[in-house]
Amino acid sequence: MTVAQAKSQAASQATRVNAANGDARIRSLIVLIETLTALVAEENAELAKGLPASRLKQVDEKNRLAEVFERTVAECAAGTTSLNVGDRILREQLMERILKLRGAMDENLARLRAAIEASNRRIDAVMQAIREQIAAVSPYGASGRVAARAVSSGTSRSA
């Protein structure tokens, strides 16, 4: 074997190893996306039932997985990580999972906004009830002075 053939063979082997490593990273990323999508779908189902966002059990895990995903995307954008996908089927699977995640996240955003608005309406209703209750029993008026109570006085005209 000549030196040129040995270099060619080594380069070919390195390319296969890099492709295998890249495919393993892609498969790992697909699993991460699938897990994140499932968590978001579960959260969406609970939000659809009217549960407040603060009581959802998926929040911590969703945030952790989203952070890992965001870090991976940032590394790819910065060029520190490459996700070259030689396998067309694997590339299509990755794109399909990303689109599913995007759809689930769009729904999640809309449901979280609705849950926040509902929570704000509940808070406003409770605060209004408290204000009304305080106003009904408070000896002070809106100006902070003692409120003049309406007193009914009757006069007796018997002679």
Task: Report the domain count for the chain.
Answer: 1
- Specify if 104 maps to a domain: yes
Tell me how far apart the alpha carbons of residues 18 and 104 are, in angstroms, rounded to a whole number.
Answer: 32
Q: Say whether pLDDT at 14 is over 50.
A: no
SS3 141: coil
pLDDT in tens, 55-96: 678 888 888 999 999 998 888 888 777 667 777 898 899 999
How long, in residues, is the chain? 159
| Amino acid (1-letter code) at residue 82 | S
Mean local confidence (pLDDT), 96-114: 94
Cβ-count burial 85-113 (b if 16+ within 10 Å, e if not): beeeeeeebbeebbebbeebbebbeebee
* pLDDT interval class at 11 (50, 70, 90): very low
- Specify if 154 maps to a domain: no
Enclosing domain of residue 35: 3-137
